[in-house]
Amino acid sequence: MSDVQSVVDAAERAYRSGLSRTPAERRGWLESMSHALDAERDELIAIARDETHLAAARLGGELTRTTFQLRFLGAEVVDGTHLEATIDHADPTWGMGPRPDIRSIRRPIGPVAVFGASNFPFAFSVAGGDTASALAAGCTVVHKAHPAHPRLARRTAAILIEALRSAGAPDGTFALLEGEDEGVQLVQHPLIKAVGFTGSTRGGRALFDLATSRPEPIPFFGELGSTNPVFVTRSAWQRRSQEIADGYLASVRLGRGQFCTKPGFIMVPAAVGAPQVIAHAAIDQPDEPGLLLSSRLRDSFEGALDALAATDGVETLLGGPSGDESAPLTLLRVDATTVLENPELLEQEAFGPASVIVEYRDMAELDQLSTLIGGQLTSTVQGEPDDDLGALLPALAERSGRVLWNAWPTGVTVSWAQQHGGPYPATTAAGTSVGAAAISRFQRAVAYQGLPPELLPLGLRDDNPLGIPQRIDGILTLPAKGDDGR
């Protein structure tokens, strides 16, 4: 029996065993994982520094976010809003004919495969959002480790497994697998019911194709790529050029540009010297030295810079391929007319500290640019209250998961409203991998018709023992507050 088979069998058994556990118990598992990771903070950050070349402060912030996320999603398990409990009592006068008693609630879909990303060794890796939300949904997780941080993956997994065991979760609730072949087998295994993935468009699409061509296709929640364009209005540039240049550069440089939400393009008004202002601001704040996550990523980064610079009219203002191990801040410049003639430029993601400054002449060009961008995780407007934005915001909402106003796309908060996912290729399916709504990707609804109260799931009983929101005969109804204020 292969490793994959035994690990998935254990995940299946743990999933079934977990179905009878209470929301409070499940919250306890997530909190136990959170506390166990916090307790090993120094050791984890040290391993991560060694394997990723990321700075300790950056890694510390990411670990804080990761353990917060586990507690946040644990609280959601008990809150129960995501269960969408719905109760329709029998109604002999119903408009289409008598209605039976019918009630529905969301339930977990089964063991889930999660593929970690290299650029977030904590928050989108072993203990990241896909793992946390799948466990919160009631699923079990088999995590395919990213080969860029194997020691960290193994250590994190060992901590999680021990934390789950000590909190009373069934053995097999979480497991780690390594190896590319093993990942492929995992996606094709009949007991695996969904996949969470963060990574490259090419690798993600290949796994997506595997997931959808199975005899039983399964949902593939993949985050593949995004160039996160920023649109600066003429008046915003006139009033805040230095602030915008500094904010943009900070966002491009954060984590050496290795964020899926890094602004890859900024559209600025022409004929005001914006590229020069930005380049000077960059020179005033010299690069901190540092390597990219891996030499493979550095090679892709340099390849992407070459591809961008190969288009006539694209000039390199700063940086460019270094020819050595380093990856300096790289700024390119191009006229909007060139982009409008070569719209495929807008889809070229250079994963690393590079971004393209696009000079537009008028709002017509800005509008055209906004309709040529592909599916995005984020789009941003830097504007002023009195700007006439025309159709800009609707065009961006059409193509993006998150639309920002006078903010920068890097730094993704974990909250109820967060949406980290957008039209293809940003993600392969509707849904978010960050925030409370991430849970529902790993659930589906089941309706129960005519069941006596003692056979119903607790969340669907009239006496609402779980204290969750219920939509009753069409009316959203909040639970009565208990002694503890809930």
Q: Which of residues 234-293 bind a second copy (CB under 8 A)?
A: none
- Give the range of 237-245, 290-298, 313-321, 465-473 binding a second copy by CB under 8 A: 465-473
Per-residue binding string, a second copy, 435-454, x by CB under 8 A, is --x-----xxxxxxxxxx--
Among 25, 38, 58, 64, binds a second copy (CB under 8 A): 64
Q: Which two tokens stand for residue 72?
A: 């946040």
Among 72, 122, 231, 301, binds a second copy (CB under 8 A): 72
Among 26, 27, 103, 144, binds a second copy (CB under 8 A): 103
Q: For a second copy, which is the closer residue by CB, 20 or 310?
A: 20
Among 125, 355, 428, 433, binds a second copy (CB under 8 A): 428
Secondary structure of the chain in HEC code, one letter for each residue: CCHHHHHHHHHHHHHHHHCCCCHHHHHHHHHHHHHHHHHCHHHHHHHHHHHHCCCHHHHHHHHHHHHHHHHHHHHHHHHCHHHCEEEECCECCCCCCCECCEEEEEEECCCEEEECCCCCCCCCCCCCHHHHHHHHHCCCEEEECCCCCHHHHHHHHHHHHHHHHHCCCCCCCEEEECCHHHHHHHHHCCCCCEEEEECCHHHHHHHHHHHHCCCCCCCEEEECCCCCCEEECHHHHHHHHHHHHHHHHHHHHHHHHCCCCCCCEEEEECCCCHHHHHHHHHHHCCCCCCECCCHHHHHHHHHHHHHHHCCCCCEEEECCCCCCCECCCEEEEEEHHHHHHCHHHHHCCCCCCEEEEEEECCHHHHHHHHHHCCCEEEEEEECCCCCCCCCHHHHHHHHEEEEEECCCCCCCCCCCCCCCCCCCCCECCCCCCCCHHHHHHHEEEEEEECCCHHHCCHHHCCCCCCCCCEEECCEEECCCCCCCCC
Query: Can residue 55 be called a binding residue for a second copy (CB under 8 A)?
Result: no
Query: Can residue 41 be called a binding residue for a second copy (CB under 8 A)?
Result: no
Among 286, 474, 482, 485, binds a second copy (CB under 8 A): 474
Q: Give residue 380's identity as a one-letter amino acid code.
A: T
Q: For a second copy, which is the closer residue by CB, 319 or 409?
A: 409
Q: For a second copy, which is the closer residue by CB, 46 or 417?
A: 417
- Give the range of 100-108, 179-187, 278-286, 319-327 binding a second copy by CB under 8 A: 100-108
Q: How many residues in the shown chain lie near a second copy by CB under 8 A? A: 78
Cα–Cα distance, 100 to 442 (Å, whole number) = 28
Cα-based distances in Å from 140 to 109, 174, 176, 257: 9, 6, 12, 33
Query: Minimum distance from CB of 407 to a second copy (Å)?
Result: 4
Q: For a second copy, which is the closer residue by CB, 294 or 443?
A: 443
- Give the range of 37-45, 204-212, 314-322, 334-342 binding a second copy by CB under 8 A: 204-212
Active-site residue identified among 12, 62, 76, 223: 223
Nearest to 429 by CA among 181, 196, 103, 229: 196
Q: For a second copy, which is the closer residue by CB, 10 or 177?
A: 10
Active-site residue identified among 260, 349, 359, 365: 260
Query: Minimum distance from CB of 123 to a second copy (Å)?
Result: 10
Among 102, 158, 281, 307, binds a second copy (CB under 8 A): 102
Which residues, 6 or more positions from 38, have their beta carbon under 8 angstroms from its beta carbon? 63, 67
Q: For a second copy, which is the closer residue by CB, 81 or 326?
A: 81
Query: Minimum distance from CB of 132 to a second copy (Å)?
Result: 13
Among 18, 170, 199, 469, binds a second copy (CB under 8 A): 469
- The yes-or-no answer on residue 139 being catalytic is no
Q: Are 224 and 428 in contact (CB under 8 A)?
A: yes
Query: Can residue 206 be called a binding residue for a second copy (CB under 8 A)?
Result: no
Among positions 308-367, residues that touch a second copy (CB under 8 A) are: none
Query: Can residue 3 be called a binding residue for a second copy (CB under 8 A)?
Result: no
Among 9, 40, 58, 68, binds a second copy (CB under 8 A): 68
Tell me the CB-side half-sphere exposure of residue 95, using CA atoms within 13 A.
0
Query: Can residue 455 be called a binding residue for a second copy (CB under 8 A)?
Result: yes
Q: For a second copy, which is the closer residue by CB, 89 or 280?
A: 89
- The yes-or-no answer on residue 223 being catalytic is yes
Q: For a second copy, which is the closer residue by CB, 324 or 386?
A: 386
Per-residue binding string, a second copy, 388-427, x by CB under 8 A, is -x---xx--x--xxxxxxxx-----xxxxxxx---xxx--
Among 53, 107, 361, 461, binds a second copy (CB under 8 A): 107
Q: For a second copy, which is the closer residue by CB, 86 or 330?
A: 86
Among positions 124-163, residues that touch a second copy (CB under 8 A) are: none
Q: Cite the active site residues.
A: 223, 260
